[in-house]
A and B are shown apart, each in its own frame.
Chain A
Amino acid sequence: MNWLPIMILIPFIFAIFVPLIYKLLTPRIHTGWFVLFVPLTLFIYLLRYIPAIAKGKTIHNTVPWIPSAGINYTTYLDGLGLIFGLLITGVGALVILYSIYYMSKHREALHNFYVYLLLFMGAMLGLVFSDNILVLYVFWELTSISSFLLIAYWSQRKKSRQGALKSMLITIFGGLAMLAGFIMLSMMTNTYSIREMITQVDIMTANSLFLPAMILILIGAFTKSAQFPFSTWLPDAMEAPTPISAYLHSATMVKAGIYLVARFTPVFGGSSEWFWIVSGVGMITLLYGSVNAVKQTDLKALLAYSTISQLGLIMSLLGLGSAAMYFGHGDESTMYAVAVLAAIFHLINHSTFKGSLFMVVGIIDHETGTRDIRKLGGLMHLMPISFTLTIIGSFSMAGLPPFNGFLSKELFFTGVLQAAHLNVFNMETFGMLFPVIAWVASVFTFIYCMILVFKTFTGKYQPKRLEKEAHEAPIGMLIPPIILASLVIAIFFFPNVVSKYLLQPAVVAILPDFAQNGGAHVQISAWHGWNTELFMTIGVVALGVFMFIFLKKWIRIYGIFPQALTLDHLYNQGIEKIESISYRLTNRYMTGSIRDYLVYIFTFMILMLGGAIWLLNGISFDSSNDAPINMYEGGLVAGMVIAACTVLFSKSRMTSLIAVGALGYLVSMLFVIFRAPDLALTQLVVETVTTALFLLCFYHLPELSKNIGRMRFKATNLIVSIGVGMVVTIMALSANGTRLFEPISSYFEDSYELAGAKNIVNAILVDFRGFDTMLEISVLCIAGLGVYTLIKLRLTGRDKE
């Protein structure tokens, strides 16, 4: 029995009980202690799979959800999913432990916090283990929603709400684009299962939907992973509590996009579009993030931009690695498979050092009351453990030995250098750009890492500018970053353990061609000889140190860059413009005047009906079946035309009213001539009643607004009314000219035998089609009651006043 589908749901189930625990035990015991047990259990449960997965096994399990639509809750555990699962639960456990000390059990609404966090954790687990793309989408949106709730955790702050809204808009936009891409994928392959799609790659590449589906799915991945130009939500999401920033915005959610790209590499990889979009956007993001991180003065903002930059690095490596798909299996593709390996490796490394850095920044914030670099300084002696942790994290991020960032950065340089030699996808022309951009970005990465360490911990201690007196954090708060930092060092010394048990299976999952040949065996070693990569690193350090020392001299260059061109500004302007344009547009056509709406309705009618009849060649006049016109009919019609014109051109309303009445009586005369006595009788009486009612209305018109005079002339009205008249006339004549079948009236002519009634009209009304009559008298009844209530209600209203 495989428990994986149930294990994924455990966070959701536990989230139900969190408020109960909170209500019962606060403030005696911190709610977090109970929550901690969930990710720990899951982490240990997932650890058990490592040996099996390392041997190349995969585990899948299906629970029916909507079997008739092919949507089933299928979990699929392979190397890639396992790495993410371990990161989510492992970092999750540490973050919860950290939050127990970070979040006060007296002041904070902890039940909300842990419910949102567990929701997010469950959604993330579901995302990485789902094989069904629609289920994956469900979990994807759940992560968006729960991260929205978490960012706005301090919802009384305006900035929190703004940040949450921004991340919501951008990630949901991407999520919807991704859904469209998924639907296109399922249209091409006729399945919702990713594993089955991979077997049908040949069919898909020939399909015209291949490229749109790819682009839409990539938009989803890029928005979630804060790639350029969708990165603008991540720095604003830093308003969340620091445990959340550490968890969501460094280790898990932002990597959902990475996961998606990695997961779909077997489907889309090997095409030049995928290679260029993924690696190109990754490279731009890498450079953009690192350059922007240098100028930040807020520690969390600096880390946010560094996250953007590191995610760009991983993304570009995945793009470069997709070239391996192009070559199939061979020595050449093994070279590019290294890039995929480096991506996964850096993904793990980034989660460890960025998680610990966020936690340390949280500690600094917690113990000094500020995160502003300009106010901090000289904390080295006051907070020695935090200082050590920062050094480990930052130097690893900068890519220095003896930390794991060094290894993955070397592999990254290997990847870009090999990409420069690539001779497919037009790489001969642009290939050299990759190492150059990578190197420049690494220099900036080095600079901001140094800023993070030395501006915070060295220099002069300024106690007057701090809100609290700085001191070391409680040990519980330090344990999680210490664990992460020891991982940072441990991975450096034993990279091949990680490689063998985690990285190789993941590479096999991303590049399934390697599965047959036992996977790509790459030895990661700290010392790999005097090669180009090492010289590049030495160059990064040399230039980085030089630029850091003279930082004050050149930092002013950032001021030159116009504020109007920042992504943040563009986003805000865009939202504002959309709002104001739609406001103005709506104001333009929703005038509130019925006359305008009638013009729209009639114009639409003319265009639709007239256009349809014209385009479909529906105009046909056939007068062969028409009856001859006699003198009475001619006379009556002439009278009706005169009456109708009188209505239009009369000066007083009374004349118009009488003319309308005359028109009604002439119509009843027409009924007489056309031998419809029932209609004639009814028309006479009803016309009398309506004329009387009109007279009543006019009698009560207020004195002031009595508009005596001819109707004002308006060209629009004339054109529209003539158009409607013409369209209706043409349609009536054409309908008369086209007789598709015989009328069914001959059946009703037997009414005496069928209904015992000689009056056919009445027989139809009460017998053949009695249902209509029944509802019509209901209409009458409602009208009568309506008049009654309108008048009576107004009377009572007046009494109250």
Chain B
Amino acid sequence: MKKPNDVILHSVTKAAVVIILTFSIDLFFAGHHDPGGGFIGGLGFASALTLLLLAFDIEWVRENIPIDFKVVTASGVLIAVLTGLGSVVFDAPFLSQTFDYFNLPIFGKTELATAVIFDFGVALAVIGTAVTIILSIAEDR
């Protein structure tokens, strides 16, 4: 099945995956003010992993990223629900989000919003689901 010599593919993949991952993380963080967000960021992240799967072996990817992606999905949903419950602790309705501006050492005046944590949950759920489906199908021989 596997071709013996994929040097170009491997080299390009190694460079591209870093770029795609960076771009996905950027999309994720940009979501608050610019196009992007948890969903598309998560999908981008998953596509980087898919590229790794295509270029290398499944076993190889499994060894280097020893994560059960079902757990990733579950923790994503859990984070999303917990952010909702967090607002209940502060006597606000379920899933109330809040934001404020802080002066951080390096970034200067920065906006921090609880919605980002929720979005992080969304991203994790998307990554987990996409990779779980792809891995399940790929392993089905």
Contact = CB atoms under 8 A, between A and B. Distances in A.
Contacts of A590: none
A401 B84 CA distance: 92
Interface in A746-801: 755-759, 761-763, 765-767, 770-771, 773-774, 777-778, 780-781, 783-785, 787-788, 791-792, 795
Given A696-B137, A774-B84, A777-B80, 6 more contacts: A678-B36, A756-B99, A765-B39, A774-B81, A778-B77, A781-B125
17 contacts: A681-B35, A685-B43, A755-B99, A755-B115, A757-B33, A757-B99, A759-B37, A763-B115, A765-B37, A766-B37, A766-B118, A766-B122, A773-B118, A774-B80, A778-B77, A788-B136, A791-B139
A686 interface: yes
A689 B130 contact: yes
Contact of B34 (A755, A758, A787): A758
Which A-B residue pairs are the 4 nearest by beta carbons?
A756-B99, A784-B129, A677-B35, A777-B125
Interface string B87-131: 000000011010110000000000101010011011001101110
Given A766-B119, A785-B70, A759 B31 contact: yes
Contacts of A777: 76-77, 80, 121-122, 125-126
Nearest to A678: B35
Contacts of B97: 755, 766-767, 770
Nearest to A788: B136
Contacts of B139: 791
A771 B83 CA distance: 11
Contacts of B35: 677-678, 681, 759, 761
Nearest to B116: A766
Interface residues of A, number: 36
A758 to B, nearest CB: 4
A787 B130 contact: no
Contacts, number: 127
B47 A784 contact: no
B13 interface: no
Given A759-B35, A787-B136, A770 B40 contact: no
Contacts of A652: none
Interface of B: 27, 31-40, 43-44, 47, 70, 73-74, 76-77, 80-81, 84, 94-95, 97, 99-100, 111, 113, 115, 118-119, 121-122, 125-126, 128-130, 132-133, 136-137, 139-140
Contacts of A781: 73-74, 76-77, 125, 128-129
A682 interface: yes
Contacts of A773: 80, 118, 122
A788 B73 CA distance: 12
B40 A767 contact: no
B129 A682 contact: no
A694 to B, nearest CB: 12
B66 to A, nearest CB: 18
Contacts of B44: 685
Contact of B140 (A774, A778, A791): A791
Interface string A719-753: 00000000000000000000000000000000000
A774 B95 contact: yes
Contacts of A678: 35-37, 40
B140 A686 contact: no
B28 to A, nearest CB: 10
B78 to A, nearest CB: 10
Interface string A220-252: 000000000000000000000000000000000
Contacts of B129: 780-781, 783-784
Contact of A795 (B95, B128, B140): B140
